[in-house]
Structure 1
Amino acid sequence: MDSVENSFKIQPNDLLSIVVSAYDLEAVRPFNLISETRPTIGNSGLTSSSAQQQNYLTAQDGTIDFPVLGRIKVAGLTRTELSEMLVNRISEYVKDPIVTIRIVNFKVSVLGEVARPGTYNVEGERLTLPEALGLAGDMTIFGRRDNVLVIRDNGNGKQYKYLDFRDSDVLNSDFYYLQQNDVIYVEPNNAQIQSSSFNRNTTIYISIASLLLSVLVIVFR
């Protein structure tokens, strides 16, 4: 499972949670992006404030502005690769740092013949293709289970993979575990395609023609 999650490549617009820790917490404090709220006065007259860890939004050029280290390129790296790079650079200032990274805005889009098409935000970074379809209410009766398309942006271009849900080998596909911003499209089956070509106004035209015929029969009988 770790190998699946660690294969995710960071992309522009990814929102990253990066926490740096070490035995000496004060030493790593400058490397954590923290915002502190203003002090407030409680019923007892004491003041209190809270600190919140801030996230990093990956810019379109694939970089983030990291405390102390400045602008660094993160797009195209896995979480493991980025963590190792940060550990190496922070080690110049702090002994034995630990870097924990998460993608906060992990999301996928499910389109086509599903009950609730749309884009879904997911907590964590582990989501299978069946789980994504479950979020969208599963396929409709008009969806093709033998030809589900997954579209993935690997940073160098789009990848397209058709999967057959009737085949157990789908479990071994590299696309079974989804990645950030994957798009799933369920194609309509032949019955739905044929019904879509049927003119929905045909029944109205038939009703009007029947009414006119009845009127003509009454008039000219």
Structure 2
Amino acid sequence: MSVLVLLLASCSNLKDATYFNNIPDSQFKSNLENLEPVLKENDLLSIAVSSLNPEATQIFNPVNSSEMDRNNSNQAPQYLIDQDGYIRFPFLGRIMAAGKTKPQLREEITEELEKRELLVEPIVNIRYLNFRISVMGEVGNPSVLTIPSEKVSILEALSLAGDLTIYAQRDNVLLIREDKDIKKLTRIDLTSNEIFTSPNYFLKPNDIIYVEPNKSKVASTSRLTSWLPVILSALSLGVIVITAN
């Protein structure tokens, strides 16, 4: 079987098995427009609040405020955006979160805390807790990836999933992205330098990457399927002969 795999791999075109074919030394400006995702229903957030008054801040956090760094949300309470787009925040009540970015929501909470004189110079830090990317198909380790940094490129996601296999179609990777009630399907060519300037270079929460098998994989599977009954029959006959003897 190993010999068969080597033979099939050697028959493949080298260009079909490599990234960024014939790209010279270059520079590309990252496309960071709209990189900050818009919050939506069922997003899970951690919101940490700190201020100059640790005792007053303690109300908004589950741990002692004096033990929490002003920019640390590791122990911050969690908030799930409900189906109506709201979160319930202490003292502020229901706050519309869906349709806003994290900076917009952070600014609104900060302004409300100051306006109601609940805290002096509050600092609000918001993080995604369910920034996930799904990678499927011809990769070393198909999986759902949790991205703590909240920023990941398609190349990084594929690397985290074990990279593409030798049987992957590198010029026809499918990106599935949900935007409100619409699912957008985009084909991406990883053999072209256009990926570096593509708006899809950086992924968004809940993106799905599907890597299709190439013709070599389909052909090898078809050949194996056609020969499988013959192999099984031969093995069965061998067992019968051995048993008879």
Please name the residue that 1:170 is paired with: 195
State the Cα distance separating 1:68 from its structure 2 match.
0.8
Alignment of 1:61 onto 2:89: no
State the Cα distance separating 1:207 from its structure 2 match.
6.8
Alignment of 1:138 onto 2:158: no
Identify the range of structure 1 (165-174 vs 53-62) with the bigger mean alpha-carbon deviation. 53-62
State the Cα distance separating 1:130 from its structure 2 match.
0.8
Q: Normalising to structure 2: TM-score of the pair? A: 0.70
Alignment of 1:70 onto 2:93: yes
State the Cα distance separating 1:201 from its structure 2 match.
5.0
User: Is the 1:57–1:64 contact (alpha carbons within 8 Å) kept by the matching residues of 2?
Assistant: yes
User: Is the 1:152–1:160 contact (alpha carbons within 8 Å) kept by the matching residues of 2?
Assistant: yes
Q: Mark the CA change 1:102 to 1:191 in structure 2 (over 3 Å): closer, same or farther.
A: same
Unpaired runs of at least 5, structure 2: 1-29, 65-74, 238-245
Secondary structure of 1:11's partner? coil
Secondary structure of 2:220's partner? helix
Please name the residue that 2:10 is paired with: none
Counterparts of 1:159-198 in structure 2, within 5 Å, are 159-198=184-223
CA displacement, residues 97-141 of structure 1 (integer Å, 9 cap, x when unaligned): 221111022211000111111211122201111111111110111
Secondary structure of 1:143's partner? coil
Identify the range of structure 1 (110-119 vs 19-28) with the bigger mean alpha-carbon deviation. 19-28
Secondary structure of 2:125's partner? strand
Q: Normalising to structure 1: TM-score of the pair? A: 0.77
CA RMSD of aligned residues (A): 2.9
- Bigger Rg, structure 1 or 2: 1
Please name the residue that 1:34 is paired with: 62
- Structure having greater relative contact order (Cα 8 Å, sep ≥ 6): 2
User: Is the 2:172–2:212 contact (alpha carbons within 8 Å) kept by the matching residues of 1?
Assistant: yes
Please name the residue that 2:133 is paired with: 108
User: Is the 2:48–2:77 contact (alpha carbons within 8 Å) kept by the matching residues of 1?
Assistant: no
State the Cα distance separating 1:184 from its structure 2 match.
0.6
Unpaired runs of at least 5, structure 1: 37-51, 213-221
Q: What percentage of residue pairs aligned between the two structures are identical?
A: 39
Match of 2:54 among 8, 11, 25: 25
State the Cα distance separating 1:155 from its structure 2 match.
2.0
